[in-house]
Structure 1
């Protein structure tokens, strides 16, 4: 097997939120990739922590990743920078610093763009410029530092089908994590189950005004309240959570 020491960095998506196993643990795209790479001698660590921004990943996750001496690192992040209102210049600096640091010690590094989540929610157009800035910075950094680019921006099959996303319309569902894993494996030129990328049968039901109102009540307002409360008491999203696989271990 080409890769023996795989480390995933990132936020809640890397942690695997909304891709639940029967026992209640999270799986996610990184676990799915590890399941394909799994072979004698293979080891996998997942340092993703929900709520983490790119600058926090640089400080908290990169030193741990470097100590593990990986031969493959995959970085998925930036969504929290977009949601927190970071400027386009801040986002570009954070992307460059993170990719520069990881490529300094890992021989193979994969980086992801974000899909256009602005299409899936009311007033989402306000986020689009920062998403575009993030993606442009990721593309530039991939060229500058020799990283593998996993560009999902143009995956309209996924972004326009709500079945690929969880209740909050931001986190991926199990189907979405499976598809994202397929994108990474394709970029690495590693064979995998073709059904992961196959179009879903039928079509998702369109969202009604009542659906939008329920989403606002059940998903948006609780998160906004939690973020405001945490800000008042000096807490950051993800504080108190630990990486789910902080050391390299056999996948099983």
Structure 2
């Protein structure tokens, strides 16, 4: 199917954090890359990206969804809820109710919808504690897609994404290779003919000595976990003061 206007909404994952472009503070990301695949396959597509890092699901639905609907897209990627699930006491059932209402709005407006499950955090220290509620939310996403006729990008079941080399140094965001493969995986879900090599895991990485592994864990906690907790305590977000990087649909 050839889509004419693709709008991406969500948080840092869709904004493209971890996949730097060529200019200062420029980000690429899987959604930008997906737009390129859609354009190459369909002969052209207009694309807007309204995602802003740090946004919770309800913020995405309040701030970005109405704008997306006004842009009259025929394809919308809606990936959000991950920031909610990182917070103690997050309710995946309530998140699913809000998500389904948004999908219904988009489908009623005539847009196809692409959802994405979260990555299985079993190998990530601290974040692995969210695995249970993340799994519940993912199960809801599959059910929502089945009821509403949406597409689902399955990150939970992707083996290649468990490789640390697919991730940025903060371990929260994909790196450039991770974003590249995610875009190809999303294109395949949408029926675009792409090289299937994106699903092939990398060769095993060398095992680091124990001392280096411990030093890496300590550096990660100091550089990323402590600042993240500090923002939560102060009620701040990494996206404070930021706006959408591509608010107007333009040709890819």
TM-score, normalised via structure 1 length:
0.90
Cα deviation per residue 1:65-87 (whole Å; 9 max; x = unaligned)? 11111111111221111112322
Deviation, structure 1 residue 237 = 4.6
Match of 1:247 in 2: 248
Q: 2:232 aligns with which of 192, 203, 227?
A: 227
Q: Which of 191, 194, 206 is the aligned partner of 1:192? A: 194
Distance 1:210 1:106, change over 3 A: farther
Alignment of 1:90-101 (within 5 A): 90-101=94-105
CA deviations over 1:173-211 (Å, ceiling 9, x no partner): 111111111111111110224443443244264571221
Q: Deviations over 1:107-135 (max 9, x none)?
A: 31111001112x23223332111211210
Unaligned runs of 5+ in 1: none
Secondary structure of the residue aligned to 1:8 is strand
The answer for the alignment partner of 2:223 in structure 1 is: 218
Q: Return 27-36 or 190-199, whichever deviates more.
A: 190-199
Counting only pairs closer than 5 Å after superposition, residues 75-224 of structure 1 correspond to structure 2 as: 75-85=78-88, 86-117=90-121, 119-159=122-162, 161-203=163-205, 205=207, 208-224=213-229
Question: 1: CA distance between counterparts of 2:231 and 2:127?
Answer: 20
DSSP 3-state at the match of 2:248: strand
Tell me the CA shift for residue 163 of structure 1: 0.6
Aligned equivalents of 1:68, 1:80: Cα separation in 2: 26
Q: Displaced runs of 4+ in structure 1, greater than 6 A?
A: none
* CA–CA distance in structure 2, aligned partners of residues 79 and 3 of structure 1: 27
Q: Is the 8 A contact 1:163 1:204 kept in 2?
A: no
Q: Which runs of 5+ in 2 are unaligned?
A: none
Q: 1:176 to 1:65 in 2, by over 3 A?
A: same
Measured after TM superposition, the shift of residue 14 of structure 1 is 0.4
Whole-Å Cα distance in 1 between the matches of residues 51 and 134 of structure 2? 20
How many angstroms apart in 2 are the aligned matches of 1:79 and 1:92?
A: 12
* Cα distance in 2 for residues equivalent to 1:33 and 1:116: 22
**Do the aligned partners of 1:19 and 1:28 also contact (CA within 8 Å) in 2?**
yes
TM-score where L is the length of structure 2: 0.90
How many residue pairs are counted as aligned between the two chains? 245
